[in-house]
Amino acid sequence: MRNVSYCVKNNLCTSCGICEDVCSKNAIKISQRNFMPAPIVDKKKYNDCGLCCFDYREKLSLKFVIRILAYKWQRLVA
């Protein structure tokens, strides 16, 4: 099953933060890792339900687009 670790290892993570939003257990937080936003998982709370690595990129929701543009803007300005 796909999960956050799978997405990060296979370069599927876009640092959009949707995994943090959909986690019903609040087990995922987006934090800076090596100067890049990345998901940090609290293994005590995480239940591996699979929602966090659903391919939301295909849906291109407005929230996703806004997060990506904001992230790219931050990198340009920095």
Which range of residues forms the domain containing residue 70? 4-77
Report the domain count for the chain.
1
What pLDDT was estimated at residue 61?
A: 63
**Residue 51 pLDDT level (bands cut at 50, 70, 90):** confident
Higher per-residue confidence, 54 vs 11: 11
Q: Give 58's DSSP letter.
A: G
**Average pLDDT for 69-78:** 72
pLDDT at 46 over 60: yes
Calpha distance 41→5 (Å, rounded): 9
| Nearest residue to 30 via CA among 45, 40, 21 | 40
What SS3 state is found at 48?
coil
CATH number at residue 31: 3.30.70
| pTM, full prediction | 0.62
